[in-house]
Structure formats: structure tokens, C-alpha cells
Structure 1
């Protein structure tokens, strides 16, 4: 059994707005094991970033945690003071944000920005911190690092800036790295390089990764386990193989259906829009967009049903009394395609 280093239990977060209380995160639970990658996927507004920012104590001023625990090695981070969280950020838990240009200080040399966490958290003097910053800059693949360590962020390309942000996040060897859509602003070729770099560095420093994305294609190559989020809740949870080979929630089917493959003749968008979380629906939040919805979906929220060991989905379709539903034809085709790829890989 892998060591469990993070345990999020029944997390609830509201946002106070002029219109009322937005129920942004509604009873979210998940865990993270040492050395693994957990992907949190879902549409924009599903609650992915809010959930992970709560781990860092970086919620907006109008946010309020109304319930739950965030246990890091058994200690509840929600009970930490701001000063205690400052000691955690960067040293134990670090974050890569999706826009590297706004993550970097344009007035500081990148060497200073990489060295700063070492001076604060490791107590290094400036000379040693600068030397370590140079090592990490080389590690993330910046060429001519000895010269470029004295450059400013605007002197680098988008892909290079993202590498520098990764260097800042990893310089203290954090136990958990949160990557918030770190490849969104990059072209496909650079995306692949950044993802390969993250996997390589994960093996070298044995960090655990929480990877936030709306792109299931990225998940396939990065994650060990996947949590699918919708309307502030996790609706399906399982290994990457569970989610791709045996998805059970209609929302997961919709996400997979909208992901292009070489064989795709057309893509299908999920109809409708997510519910208004000022007044969340009483039943299944996906019911209004779900072509397989039943009467019970409008009145009762489904519990998690166990599909297999470690695989759960919150849909009434898994109830023993529910009618048997066959996934969309495109999902079945993709499942067959993934199984063929897996068989080829094993052979």
C-alpha cells in the first residue's frame, strides 16, 4: 500500500457575492498517495482550481470554507494560521499556475526568483541559493543557463517561462506539486515537452502531483488516478484505466466524446450549461444535460456506487433497479480502440 500523504474530506467552500452565496465546492473528498499523479478534470467552473487553491490557503477574500478537512500527513491545513501556511507553501506544497507570464515578477531576474524559496524555506545564503537555482534551471532544460539566469521573464519564450515556473515550484523538493492547467497557453509541441519534463522530474525528486485540466488527452499520459468534477462535486473517481476503458457517469461519457482522436469523424459537445450554484439543484446536478436522466435525478442526489475496487461513480444509472443503459456508440468505439492500444503495448 502506498503512503497516503493528503486526505481531503467533505470539503465545502462558499463564495459571498452581491447576488448571494455561491456553493462552489460541495462535499468534495479525495486522497493523494506518495509518488502518484492524481488528475482532476472537468469543464471550466466545475471547481477544480478552487479545490486546489484551498490546499495552499490561496482562496479569494470572499471565499469561506464552511466544512471539511484537508489533512496533510494527518494535520488539518484549514486550522493553520497564515504564517504557518507561508511555511507550507513552496516548501511542502508548491503550485504551477497556468499563465507563466503573470506568475513571474517582471522586475526580477529569474535567478533571484528561483533562489528566493531556498533563502526563505531552507535558510541558504544568497551564494548557495543562486548555485542551486542554476542547477535547477539546467534540470528543467534551459540552455545556456549560466548566462540566462541573469535574464528577465520577458526575454524568454512562453515554453521557457513555463519551465522557469516549474523550476521555482520544484526548487525546494516539495512533497506535493499542484499543476493548474500548466500547458493551456502553450502550443501542442511545447505541451508535450512540458508534460515529459514533469514526469521526468517527478521520478527524480519523488514528488506527488495533482494535475488540473479540462483535457482528457493530457490525462491519459500523465495520471495514475482521475477525479471527474462537475458543479462543485466529484462525480466519478477511479484509475486512469477505469476512466478511459470503463467510464460509468454520463458526464464522463460527454467529456470523452468531446475529445478528438485520429479516428474521430466528428466531435459532440455536451448540450446545455452547468447549473447555477447560487441555487444548486436538489437532485443530480447533471440531470438537465443528461439524455439518460430518470425521474429520481430531479429530486434526489445520487450517492457513490462502487463499480470496482477504487472506482466509484455518482449516478442513479448504477442502482440495481435502474434500467440498463448502453454507453454511446462513440464511447464503445473508443473503449475498443484503447484496449487495442493496450494490447499492442503489452505485446
Structure 2
């Protein structure tokens, strides 16, 4: 068994606003092992990015408040650390790949200098020549052709996909143990997106880096993650291996996410399904199950009591009253079952 690298326990993050206190993250718990990829999936506003930013202590305080819980990285709680102490963790131990490469890069600096700056900052004994050599090797690692020439160029001379590769090279510059990728492919077209995902998988194999992958797109997750945490209204509502989530989803919200994905591979002509309604106001979180108002299978208890996290198997958990022994048996909706059957067929064809 791999070593546990990160453990988040009952994390609560609030934001003070003029309208009131927003409970953005409400008791999130998960763990991550060395060399593993965890995908955190959910709609915009579900708390994914706040959760990932809180691990790196990038939540501005104020208005942000760490209202409870702990973030154990290599056994050390990051929550009480000062900004000076966290500066040593960022880059060295945990690095982040941001969504938009153009805002992550300095347009006035050559990309080589942006990479060597990180190498020199985190390795005091490295010479400028050694830093340049390492930066060129990183550009080569992330699949940028003619790295010696590209080293001297500016961000505007790169395509969107190549800029994202530069951002990944910068994130890898100090050999972090954990990479947090916050929607790293959203701004890219589908072909480039696939290349970047393949690159991240390749880097992980070579370096044994752990990855937290933030996305709203369940389709991306299937090819990247080992485990998946589905987030809704600041909480994890389903948690399991990729196979658990894709072949045996048990939370109605996960059904909704799977059912709303277009079936591009099987050429099926169908109306694109959506999840009715919108996420709740987290200034006043609803009583009971936060998803109840959008759940066609909601029962009376869903409006009264928050469900616990039910254990389905040793690897699979879901936060829904439908898993209670006394709940009526609800079959997986047909549209979702068709998706699952499609994934199973694809897995068999690929020999997985």
C-alpha cells in the first residue's frame, strides 16, 4: 500500500460577505496516497476550487475563514501554519496548475526565465547554468519541441496548449510531491485537452507525483483519476474509485452529472438532459439534504434530516437517504444506465 500523503478531515471554509456568511465548504473529508490521482467533480459553485485553494492556503483571510477541520500533509497540519511557513510548502511540496495559462504566465518575461526563477528560488545551491539546463529538460519533458529555442521565447509566441505545457513545467520545477490541477484543460479545445491529460498521466508515471484534479467534466475523469469525489453544495456527496462512480453510481446527483454528458462516441441522437433547478444558497444552507429540491427521488426525510455518508463497499460511499435499509428501491434512470453500458462496452473494447 502506498503511503498516505494528504488527509483532509472535516474541513469547513466560510466567507464573510455583505449579505452574510457563505458556508462554501461544509465538512469535507478525503485522503490521497503517493502516486494517486483524485478527481474532485461538481458544478460551478460546488466548492471544488475553494477546497483545492484551501490546501495551499490561498484563501484570502479576510474574507475567507478556516472555520474548522485539518489538512494533514505528510502528517503535518497546514491550517495553523503562518504565511512564511506556507511559502516553504508551496512549490517545494505542493504546486498548482491554474485554469488559464495566459493569466498564470508573466507576458513580459521569457518562459525560460519564469521556469528558472522557480528552480533557483527553491534550490539555493543550483547555479544559473544548472537551472537553465533543468528548465530546458522540463520543457522537453512536457512535450515542447525545440526546447532550447522555446526557452528564449515569450508566452504570446506559444499556442494555448503549449502555454499550458509551460505552466505544467513551472509547477514541476521544484519536484513537488502533490500537484493540484484546477480545471487545467477547460480553456483548451478537445484535441489539445486530450494531449494535456495524456501528458499529466505520463508525468505521474515517471515522477510518482500525487495529483488532485479539479473539473466539472466527468468525461475527463474517466481517463485520468484513480478515485473520484463528487461535490455538491460544499459537501462530498459520493466518493469512490473511478469504477465505483462510473459503473455503480449511487447518488442522484452523480446520476444527473452522468446523464447530462453528451454521448459523442456512440453517435446517439438524443436530447441533452439537464439537472433541474440550481444549487442552494450557502448563506442559508437548506435543512436536510442539500440536493433534495433538485432530486426527483427525494423523500420526506430529505427535507428534514441531512443524510449520513453510507458505506456501499470498502472503497465506495454516498450521502443519500436512498441507501438507508428502509428506503424504497430506486433503479438507476435509463439515460444513466445507457451511459454506464457504454462505458462498460468501451472498457471491454480497450481491454481494461
| Short-chain TM bin | over 0.9
1:150-229 correspondence to structure 2 within 5 Å: 150-229=152-231
Contact 1:15 1:64 in 2 (8 A): yes
Deviation per residue, 1:243-293 (Å, 9 max, x gap): 000000000000000111133422201000000000001110000000000
Secondary structure at the counterpart of residue 222 of structure 2: helix
Q: Does 1:57 align with 2:77?
A: no
Unaligned runs of 5+ in 1: none
1:139-158 correspondence to structure 2 within 5 Å: 139-158=141-160
Secondary structure at the counterpart of residue 79 of structure 2: helix
Output the CA distance in 1 between the equivalents of 2:351 and 2:188: 32
Deviation per residue, 1:4-58 (Å, 9 max, x gap): 1100000000000011100000000000011010000000000000001011110
**What does residue 130 of structure 1 align with?**
132
Contact 1:95 1:169 in 2 (8 A): yes
Deviation of 1:344 after TM superposition, in Å, equals 3.2
Residues 295 and 88 from structure 1, CA distance in 2 versus in 1: closer, same or farther, beyond 3 angstroms?
same
Unaligned runs of 5+ in 2: none
Secondary structure at the counterpart of residue 235 of structure 1: strand
**What does residue 113 of structure 1 align with?**
114
Query: 149-158 or 26-35: which moved more?
Result: 149-158
Secondary structure at the counterpart of residue 336 of structure 1: helix
Deviation per residue, 1:185-233 (Å, 9 max, x gap): 0001100110111111111111000000011110000000000000000
Contact 1:91 1:117 in 2 (8 A): no
**What does residue 5 of structure 2 align with?**
5
Secondary structure at the counterpart of residue 26 of structure 2: strand
Output the CA distance in 2 between the equivalents of 1:156 and 1:334: 37
**What does residue 243 of structure 1 align with?**
245
**What does residue 338 of structure 1 align with?**
343
Instruction: Normalising by structure 2, report the TM-score.
Output: 0.97
Q: How many residues align?
A: 347
Secondary structure at the counterpart of residue 43 of structure 1: coil
Output the CA distance in 1 between the equivalents of 2:154 and 2:250: 48
**What does residue 301 of structure 1 align with?**
306
**What does residue 44 of structure 2 align with?**
44
Query: 35-44 or 145-154: which moved more?
Result: 145-154
Deviation of 1:169 after TM superposition, in Å, equals 0.3
Secondary structure at the counterpart of residue 330 of structure 2: coil
Instruction: Normalising by structure 1, report the TM-score.
Output: 0.98
Corresponding residue to 2:254 among 249, 252, 255: 252
Secondary structure at the counterpart of residue 163 of structure 1: helix
Corresponding residue to 1:312 among 317, 320, 340: 317
Q: CA RMSD in A?
A: 1.0
Deviation of 1:334 after TM superposition, in Å, equals 1.9
Secondary structure at the counterpart of residue 50 of structure 2: helix
**What does residue 91 of structure 1 align with?**
92
Output the CA distance in 1 between the equivalents of 2:99 and 2:119: 23
**What does residue 283 of structure 2 align with?**
278
Deviation of 1:125 after TM superposition, in Å, equals 2.3
Output the CA distance in 1 between the equivalents of 2:348 and 2:119: 46
**What does residue 293 of structure 2 align with?**
288
Residues 103 and 257 from structure 1, CA distance in 2 versus in 1: closer, same or farther, beyond 3 angstroms?
same
Output the CA distance in 2 between the equivalents of 1:344 and 1:119: 47
**What does residue 23 of structure 1 align with?**
23
Contact 1:15 1:23 in 2 (8 A): yes
Contact 1:245 1:339 in 2 (8 A): yes
